[in-house]
Amino acid sequence: MGDILPDMTVTLVDGLAGGPTIQFGTGDWQDGTVRGVAISEEAFDLLEPTIRQVVAEWRPLARYGVTQLSRSSLIALIEGLVALELVCPETSRMKEGVTDWLTLASRQPGPVTIFGL
């Protein structure tokens, strides 16, 4: 039997996503007005190397906290994800879903935040 592919679903979320997920969102996590997309921790593992390279605010273990992106980091992240090549169709669709959402969010006022586990 082949390897089982981890969950590569990109889920639109109002509020904070529960469970072992990482969320890209807008709004305030403290008052529950977050809107965004959530992916599994395994899916995030594929994106985190790019995030580490291009997001100035990213720190070790940031996946376990809340990181608000500056405008320049958000644009760099979008560009980095566009350039990221993933071979498997499921992982490519996940990356494209996150990138599309980030691109739409970049056109709106207010910051984008990565909400960790």
Residue 31, in any domain of the structure: yes
Q: What are the φ/ψ torsions at residue 43 (nearest 5 degrees)?
A: -65, -40
Q: Residue 90: which domain range? A: 11-115
Q: Which letter does DSSP use for residue 61 in this model?
A: T
List CB contacts of 74: < 8 A, sequence separation 6 or more: 102, 105, 106, 111, 112
Residue 49 lies inside a defined structural domain of this protein: yes
In a domain, 40, yes or no: yes
Q: What is the pTM of this model?
A: 0.90
Rounded CA separation 100/111 (Å): 16
User: What pLDDT digit, counting tens, does each position of 58-114 carry?
Assistant: 998 888 999 999 999 999 999 999 999 988 888 999 999 999 999 999 999 889 999
Identity of residue 107: R
